[in-house]
Amino acid sequence: MTIKITPLKTSLFFTAFALFSLLTSCDNEEDRWTDVKGETVKEIVTNLDAKRIISFKVTNPGESQALYSAVDNVKKTITVYLPSYYEYQYLETAITLPEKTTISPAATELLPVFSKTPVTYTTKATDGTTAVYTVKIVIQQPSIILKELSTETETITIQAGSSVTVKGENFIPSYEVTKLFIVDKQGNKKFQLKQYNDGIDIASFYVMYSFPSIENGLQADTDYWLLMESYNISKTMKYPFRVTN
């Protein structure tokens, strides 16, 4: 068997030649490369609506505890979530608008909580365009629970001029907003009862009321019901009572 040995110089020559060819090939590849410019991309930036309301807050509780409202600039609504324990009849507001945009009525005007008609705000941008926002006030108040005086099988009789204690749950402890009325079968208010004790007992929720005399328009042997109104909601007892002298 014959073994052929290639001299070292020859191997080095061919290695150097191969490396040179590779580098030359790369140079040629770069020369042949054509830089193709991509498609032009246009970025469109739209301006925010100048008629929008940026923020709307109720400041009655103080600036540090202000109630921020939900502003929907698409549906044009302002939703105010108001806890019932504040007992507000009117709200003080602070409204943030884009620069030079105006609003009517002004933020300094009081906002009624129990308006009989929808309350709206109109914004006006510098270009003269306007938007109308409708205010929705959602009062967060639990339902009143009244403990019945009568039962399904027994109608109690209350002596005129005496006092009656009403028990239940979720009374707002304020005579300004928690009131008790005597109503007839049709729900008509016949008499507003006068509070007898100094204040509503918050722990057990009971109130004492002075009951009226027959001379106040009530009739004996007639069914009446007790109706409690407390800020935003009302509750009528299910079972009636009667009055006697």
Among 22-31, 35-44, 64-73, 80-89, which is the least confidently predicted range?
22-31
Whether residue 8 is predicted with pLDDT greater than 50 in this model: the reply is no
Of 157, 161, 146, the C-alpha closest to 206 is: 146
What is the number of residues in the chain?
245
N- to C-terminal Cα separation, the chain: 143
Q: Which residue has the higher pLDDT, 144 or 210?
A: 144
Strands 225-230 and 178-183: antiparallel
Determine the Cα–Cα distance for residues 238 and 167; give it in Å rounded to an integer. 14
Burial bucket for residue 167 (CB in 10 Å: 0-12, 13-18, 19+): middle
Look at residue 45 in the predicted model and tell me its pLDDT. Answer: 47
pLDDT of residue 48: 72
**Is the pLDDT reported for residue 202 higher than 60?**
no
* Reported pTM: 0.70
Q: What pLDDT does residue 72 have?
A: 97
8-12, 53-57, 237-241: which has the minimum mean pLDDT? 8-12
Least confident of 17-26, 75-84, 110-119, 190-199: 17-26
Q: How many CB atoms lie within 10 A of CB 193?
A: 20
Cα dihedral 148→154→159→165 (10° resolution):
-20
Give the neighbor-by-neighbor strand order of the sheet with 93-96.
67-68, 55-58, 93-96
Please, are residues 244 and 157 in contact by the beta-carbon 8 Å criterion? yes
Q: H/E element holding 206? A: strand 206-210
Percentage above 70 pLDDT, the chain: 76
Average pLDDT, the chain: 84
**Are 103 and 122 a contacting pair, CB within 8 Å?**
yes
Q: What is the mean pLDDT of residues 75-80?
A: 98
